[in-house]
Structures are given as structure tokens and as C-alpha cells.
Chains A and B, each alone.
Chain A
Amino acid sequence: MGAPESYHLTHLEQLEAESIHIIREVAAEFERPVMLYSVGKDSSVMARLAQKAFYPAPLPFPLLHVDTGLKFPEMYEFRDRFCGEVGANLVVYQAPEVADPAVNPWDLGTVRCCALLKTRALLDALRAGGYDAALGGARREEERSRAKERVYSFRDARGQWDPKRQRPELWNLYNGRLVRGEHMRVFPLSNWTELDIWLYVEREAIPVVPLYFARPRPVVVRDGQMIPVYEHTRLHAGEDLRELMCRCRTLGCYTCTGVIPSTAATVPDIVAEMRTARRSERITRIIDHDQDGSMEQKKREGYF
């Protein structure tokens, strides 16, 4: 009769099963689904879950990267390699303004820059591709306003999110019904925490961008954030460069993403660091601090 059978699932396996169920549900029920790919750790995990969901078949949807042109150079390198390994069909969308040198957070401010290059660009990209469902890697634990986000987040024909019009979500019975023009954002990682993501990266040996690992990097301190300095980083008068042993906790544009001081150079190091983390991960996103309740505002407008 073989080895004794065990019927226990660890918490990661429970989360994995739930996520795969959601991803398959999207593939089955929508006409043109797409998986948003932001190159970050959550995207890496989501792509792995999708591989598992459809094995041995290839992913039945493309990965969509909404590129601001301002991502860390390491991210572009990683993106192309990763998508090749996964065997995914990568679609890159850039807003027309990406080519405009005046569109940058230093001249426009982070709020307007984000609105153009990310929020509007995402809606345009979805429209251009005719996508009716976009799988995203957002987690409820990430930010307070996301605690009430549904797994299936309904967006009207203008791409807007209205907290009052979200559908009740019971059991694992997701309601994906839409009329033309509307779309659904779907978050299969809703119930994962940042620690779960890293434990899963460790367990599955999932590749992630090297920016997550600590090493000495040149940084500049600005508005309480430590911003890594790249070739095109604009330095303000009186700002000094210094070298810091640090890593990124979340990834975004190199212009607006801070680092944290850290010596965690491997995934197990990060897991250990995470267990004692005292600050939330979005603390290093400049845009989240622009105004109180800002994430909710951005979400209403269609930001991820």
C-alpha cells in the first residue's frame, strides 16, 4: 500500500491551493485574461503559481508589464530572463509620455508622474489589449485600504474602483460576470503576507531581482527616504552621496523607491529579517506618503 498517506497541508500549501484555484477560475471564465507583471517578488510568485496551475500546458495568458521607463536597470535584465525561463509571452506597454523627458517625478511631482505613467498607462494597456481580467499580485496585508479589497475587484467601464459597488464574495464562488468595457482585477495573492511570499520564494527557489539582496549601494537621503543613486538620478543642491549596506523591500521606479539598511544577502536572511520587521513594506514607497489616504485615492482612479 506504499508509504502512509498524510492529509495535512502547511499554511503555504493552503495558500498555494487557494491561489491556483483563483488563477484557473480566471482562465476559465474570462475571454481575454492577462497577468500583470511588475517584476517584483509578488509577480515572481504569482507566475510560479500560474505555472503550477496549468502544468504541463503553457500559461494561457500573456504577462503584461506596464513600464514607466524608470525602473531599476536590474529589473529589465531580470524581466527578460525570467519571462524566457517561465516560457511566458511578455507584453510590454509604455505610455507615450515615457519618451517625454519632462515627464519625471522631479519635474512633475510623484503624484502626477504616477498618474500618467502608471495609473493611466495601465488602463490604456488593458484597453489596448482588450483584456477583461487582469491578475495582479496585490496583497490585503500590504496596506490598510487593501484590507477590504475583494479577490475579484470590479472596475467599471472607466476603470474606476468604487468601494460601495464591490460584490459580496462568499466561499470560493467568485462572480466574474461583466458587460463589455468593464473589467476585473483579480488578486490571487490576497491572503498572502510578505513573510509568506519570502517563505515561498525560499521553498520553491523562485528567482527574484537581486535588488532585494543586501550589498553596499550608493544612496542619497531625501525626505527621510534613502534613495539609491543611478546614472540619471537628479541630485538636489546640498545632497551628499553615501554608501550603505542596504536592500530594496519593494521594487518600483528607481526615482521613487527607497532602500532599507540591511545585511540580508540571501533569501533565508530575508526570512529571518522579516520575522523581526517592525516597519511596513510600503514605507519605502514615496508615493504612498504624499497624502493621507492616498492609496485609496489612487485605487479609485484605477491604480493597482
Chain B
Amino acid sequence: MMGSSYSASSTGQTDILRFMLAGSVDDGKSTLIGRLLHDTGAVYEDHLDSLRRRAAQLGQAGPDLSLLTDGLRAEREQGITIDVAYRYFATPKRRFIVADAPGHEQYTRNMATAASTADVAVVLIDATRGVLTQSKRHAFIASLLGVPHQIVAVNKMDLVGYAEEVFERIRAEYLTFADRLECRHFTFVPVSALAGDNVVKPGVKMPWYSGPTLLSCLEQLDRGGLRDCLGLVDLRLPVQYVLRPSADFRGYAGTLASGIIRTGDEVLVLPGGRRTRVRRLIHDRRDVQYAFAPQAIAVCLEDEIDVGRGDMIVHPANLPWLAEELELIVVWMHEQPLRPGCEYLIKQTTNLVHARPSQIHYEIDPDTLRRRPAESLGLNAIGRMTCQLMRPLLCDEYSRNRQTGAVIFVDPIGNFTVGAGVIIDRSHRYRRPADEEPADLAPKSTPDRLGLRDRVGLDTPPQRLALLRQRACTIWLTGLSGAGKSTLASALEERLLAGGYSCVILDGDRLRSTLNRDLGFSPADRKENIRRTAGLARLFNEAGVTAIVALISPYREDRQLARQAIGCERFVEVYVDAPLDVCEARDPKGLYRRARAGDLPQFTGVSAPYEPPERPDVRIPTAEMPPDAALERLWAVLDKRGALLEHS
């Protein structure tokens, strides 16, 4: 398929970073974009020529770079930009799509539009004016729309004598405000867009600043980090289009909103709830074994099921919400205000449903983050509301999934897009301030929930179950050093993550170098080692996270204590069994050799005892089976025990 000349270097196997640029014309935003485009060589000579001609007409010395981004005639005449514009440039490291969000009228609406697809927000601040209310508004909207990083470009440093104090003061003020935002990643760069300092080229006038230029920040930003944490965990495939070229082929086409899907996977088709398996996966006009977000694929299923646009294919152990009512933070985008009782259409993934806001809880002042009561939301207002749906939607919390957690509002008569909303956690249902008493601020212990907690003892709090949608457990791998605990733990972790479970490995060696580094190998220290590890596992389980413990844990009594600490209903004891001579032959860390030489006292199997479990939940003889089979055996047991099943 690929030509022979196609190589990594010639195409630059880069990715795309989408960033939004927030700021007003007064902050020098157009100049900054012009500077970025110009200094990265993205401006064509003929465009530059027309600017030079224009500068000559106006008697200016050089071309005004800010005009490079002025598209529409009306705007050029008024000297302002009124709509989101998209710009493109590339460096050898990366390609960039810039969403240029204007700072004047229709401001919040444009910001939200630009932020919806951005990986990072560049917030521009005029050093001569400091952090203005509008800067805070930028920070808030970017954070609300789930933009994971903010780069604050403190511009016009040339006008403040390139003074470090000015930069530091702005940074401190910004961070104080940003403390109240969801966004946690901030980078600050002092720049002069006009002079070109620290935009693309380092600025020589600021020796006190040793950080990267704005462009370097954008080039280095780890876009994959966030995506890998969440974007590949929950399988969400909204069906977009049904392919039926002939009687014997029926495929469901769609873009993976998140997650990984593999042939053979057991899947559920929602909202119907039929369970089946993936028979074929098609991507790029051929069959593939797996696919991942955000690829556009087609799926064929084992069973004949009635599947259509708007359905969602998911893994059975990791489900979205089926919501008949949504809690939303809404950005309103139309002159006609949003009012409870009015009817709208909501588009979410591939669904379009009728919806009726039942209540507006409050409006948020984006400049101060203060909440105030509101009867309606006007153009550019932001507020929280509850919305009734005429047909249920499959969705996730926006902070977890920027695809399945997002909605737009459409006016059913005029057809205009009148608003945008992000779905928030339904378990944090808002109560009117009047109803709120101090005691209510603590997590509410309703009789219903107390009953649940009493019944199952150490179960995960219901809110967390709702959040992570899995039943957390502790998989405790015990066995001799070199028996294969760590290998099995890693393989299991990979499988769990791929299946949409969130999990953590608590590895004995790693814990001993950190949390437990004060402990030795005496029976008492071993007991303490296990007590701490079990406590940690329990904490993770209570937070809804499955723990995989890889610990020699040689004493039956200690393992029994761990079982009790964690709760027997979610403790899975796995005996990773390999004969001592096999372990000793493997000796991956050279420990047996050192123990035999007398370097390591109290070494299990050599100079200290190992008490094999009498009734483990499963025994894995790693000397008798390949790692794949070992994992399969363990997985089957977990599955059978229901340790992994979705808590519905």
C-alpha cells in the first residue's frame, strides 16, 4: 500500500495537537498567531506580499502580522474577529490546529466552541494589565470544557522592561484563581509577540527565564498521557451507520468514542442489552484484530441482533449510564434564553432526542465563579440544570469522557444550535441552598445506603461504584521469589486495563523500596509488611480500584489477616506455584545465588519457610504452563467468581 519512498522521516510520523488561543485583540492575540505562523514558515509569500502592500498604503514600516489571521471582509473593516477561526501550521515534531477564539462579542460561545476539541488552551495575558476578569473567564471556560492543560502566555513583556517580577506576580495571581478549577496543569511563558521573544525563538532579553518557548511547550506537551489514562479504558462505540451491502453482510459503522475493541470480545449492545461477541472488525477496508479510539471502524457481531444508529456497543463489565434525566453545565449560545419547560433537541453521540429542561439550579458568573439563582440562561450564560429526556441516552460523565459526556442543544423549530452542555455526575445531585444544612455537607448517609453498607460489610461506597462502574477486588499473588508473580501481575494488569477495569499493582519489591523500606525480613517485619500492603489494597478497593498484590507472603496466618483486613468477599488468593529448583534456576534477580552464598539471611525457600496455601482460590503452576495459559486460568476464575462483574 505504501510507496517505497514513504518513510517515517519524510512524513514525520507526528500527531496533531489542537490548541485554542484565548485572548482579546488588545492582548495582542492576532499578533501572536501571526508570529507563530510567520516564524514557523507557515505564511506564504503571496499572503505576506499583500500585507506588505497594505502596510505601504497605510505608511507603516513592516507588515502587520495580526492581519494574517483576519479572514472575513466585515471583520477586516471593523478590525475585530467575530468567529472562531482555524489555523494550521507544522513543525518537524508536530502538526498544529489552532482554534482562534475571539475576545469580543459572543465571547463565551466562541470560547466554548474552540475549547470543545482542544488538547490545550493558550491563555494570553497582557503584562501591562495583569490578570483581568476576562483572563479568569478564559481559564474557567477552558477548564469547564475539559481542556486538560493551560499554557499562560504573558505577552507584551517588552512593554514592562522584560521584568521578572511582573511575570512572577501574574503567575502567582493566576494560580491563586486557578486553584478553584478542575484543570491542574499550568505552564507559564513570558513572551513578546511583537518582538518575537519566546514565541518560536528564545528571547535573549529575559535571561532570568530558562524555560521553553511557547512553541516548545506546544511541541513537548504529552497529548497521549491523558488519552491513555482514560481514553482507552471504557469501550464506547456509538453506532453511526448500518452497512448492509448484501443479505450475508451486516456491519455497524462508527467512531470509537473511547476504548479498545478486539475480535472475539464479548460485548453488549445498548440500550437493548443483548450480549454477543465481535465476529469481525473492519478498519481501513480490511479485517483487523483490534481497534482503538478515535478510529472509525465497522463491527460485525456473532448473533443476528437488531442494531441501529444511536445504539452503543460496550463491554459487559463497563457500562455507561442509561439516563432519562441529565445533570448538565450548560453554555447558552442564543439570544432566545433557555427556560425550564421549553422544548429542545439534544444531540449526544449519534442520538437526537427531545428534551425539556426541568430546572435551572444556578448561573455561574464566569468572572468570579460565584453562583447565583437564575430563572433562565441568556446568551453566553453558563449554568447548571436538570434536563428531562423523552428517550433515555447512553452517556458518561464529561470529566471521564469528552465524547459521550457532551451534548448540544438544537432549537427544534429554527434548527439553530442554541447551546452546549457537559454531563456531570448524577450522584452529586444538587440541592437548593435553602435545603442545605451543615450536616448535609458530609456525604449523605441515606437509610437506603446504610442498609446496603450493612449488608455487604466492606463494600465500596455507592458513589464510587457509580463512578468507576466496577466491583473492585484484591487479587493476592503469593509464591516463592521467581515463581512468576510479577509477570502474572503485569499480564493481568494489562488485561484488566484493556477490559476497562481500573487497577493497580502493589508489588512487594517496589513497596519495600518505598513505603516499607524500614522493614526487614524477620517474621515480625514480614507480618507488618503484609499488614501495610493489605491496608493499602483495602484503600484502593474502597476507592473502587482493583488491587493486584504480588508478595511472597510466606505465612498462612499473615495471608489470613490480609484476607480479613480486605474482606473475604473480595479477596482472591492466587497460589503462584513453581518448585524451588525451578525458581532457583530462573533466579531473575540473582537472589537465590546470594542467599546460597549467605548474603541474604532469612530468604524464603532457602533460609526461611514458605507455607503454601491450603485452599487457594486458584493455583497457577507456572512451571507447567506458558504465561498466556496462566493468565487465562486466572481470568477464568476471576470471571467465575464474579469478582470483576459490573455492579449494576
Contacts and interface: CB of A to CB of B under 8 A. Distances in A.
Interface stretch (A34-42, A95-103, A107-115, A272-280): A272-280
Contacts of B241: 24, 27-28, 54
Nearest to A175: B417
Contact of B410 (A13, A166, A175): A175
A202 B417 CA distance: 38
B72 A177 contact: no
A55 B117 CA distance: 28
Contacts of A28: 240-241, 309, 350
A25 B83 contact: no
A37 to B, nearest CB: 20
B40 to A, nearest CB: 13
A193 B12 CA distance: 15
Contact of A21 (B47, B240, B243, B290): B240
A11 B15 contact: yes
A141 interface: yes
A147 B255 contact: no
Contact of A163 (B74, B249, B284, B416): B74
Interface string B397-411: 000001100111010
A17 interface: yes
A17 B285 contact: no
Contacts of B177: none
B245 interface: yes
Contacts of A239: none
Given A20-B296, A28-B309, A175-B415, A170 B116 contact: yes
How many residues of A sit at the interface, in one of the four size bands?
A: 35 or more
Nearest to B5: A268
Given A21-B255, A203-B11, A148 B83 contact: yes
Interface string B84-118: 11111010000101001000000001101100110
B566 to A, nearest CB: 29
Contacts, number: 196
Contacts of B117: 170-172
Contacts of B224: 8
B417 A169 contact: yes
B86 A168 contact: no
A179 B415 contact: yes
Given A140-B86, A173-B347, A54 B408 contact: no
B240 A280 contact: no
Contact of B285 (A2, A10, A55, A278): A55
A263 interface: no
Nearest to A293: B73
A163 B78 CA distance: 15
A175 B86 contact: no
A133 to B, nearest CB: 14
B112 A170 contact: yes
Interface in B196-225: 224
A69 B465 CA distance: 66
B113 A168 contact: yes
A163 B112 CA distance: 19
Contacts of B232: 7
Contact of B15 (A1, A8, A25, A52): A8
A10 B15 contact: yes
Contacts of A171: 116-117, 402-403, 406, 408
Contact of B10 (A24, A54, A193, A271): A271
B298 A10 contact: no
Name, among B16, B44, B298, the residue most crowded by chain A CB atoms within 10 Å (CB to CB): B16
Contacts of A205: 1, 3
Contacts of B134: none
Interface string A164-201: 00111111110101110000000000110101100100
A95 to B, nearest CB: 27
B368 interface: no
B348 interface: yes
A213 to B, nearest CB: 14
Interface in A1-56: 1-2, 5, 7-18, 20-21, 24-25, 27-28, 51-56
A178 B416 CA distance: 9
A24 B116 contact: no
Interface in B322-355: 333, 345, 347-348, 350
A57 B290 CA distance: 21
B427 interface: no
A267 interface: yes
A168 B3 contact: no
Interface in A101-134: none
B408 A173 contact: yes
A53 B298 CA distance: 9
A85 interface: no
Interface string B271-292: 0000000000010110001101
Nearest to B115: A170
Given A10-B11, A171-B403, A190-B86, A203 B3 contact: yes
Nearest to B331: A170
Interface in B237-251: 240-241, 243-245, 249, 251
B69 to A, nearest CB: 7
A14 to B, nearest CB: 5
B334 to A, nearest CB: 9
Contact of A54 (B13, B14, B243, B410): B243
Given A11-B16, A175-B415, A267 B3 contact: yes
Contacts of B47: 144, 280
Nearest to A204: B1
Name, among B282, B284, B345, the residue most crowded by chain A CB atoms within 10 Å (CB to CB): B284
Given A173-B406, A175-B417, A140 B88 contact: yes
A207 interface: no
Contacts of B76: 293
B44 A277 contact: yes
A55 B44 contact: no
A140 B402 CA distance: 24
A145 interface: yes
A9 B298 contact: no
Interface in B54-84: 69-74, 76, 83-84
Contact of A170 (B73, B95, B298, B420): B420
Contacts of B72: 145, 148, 163, 296
B260 A11 contact: no
22 contacts: A10-B14, A17-B294, A25-B350, A54-B253, A56-B243, A58-B245, A144-B69, A145-B73, A147-B87, A147-B100, A168-B333, A169-B113, A170-B113, A171-B402, A171-B408, A173-B347, A175-B408, A178-B415, A202-B2, A283-B44, A292-B73, A293-B76
**Closest A-B pairs by Cβ, 10 of them:** A57-B245, A20-B296, A177-B415, A170-B116, A280-B44, A293-B73, A268-B5, A147-B85, A167-B417, A55-B285
Given A17-B294, A57-B249, 7 more contacts: A14-B15, A28-B240, A170-B113, A170-B117, A191-B88, A203-B1, A279-B45
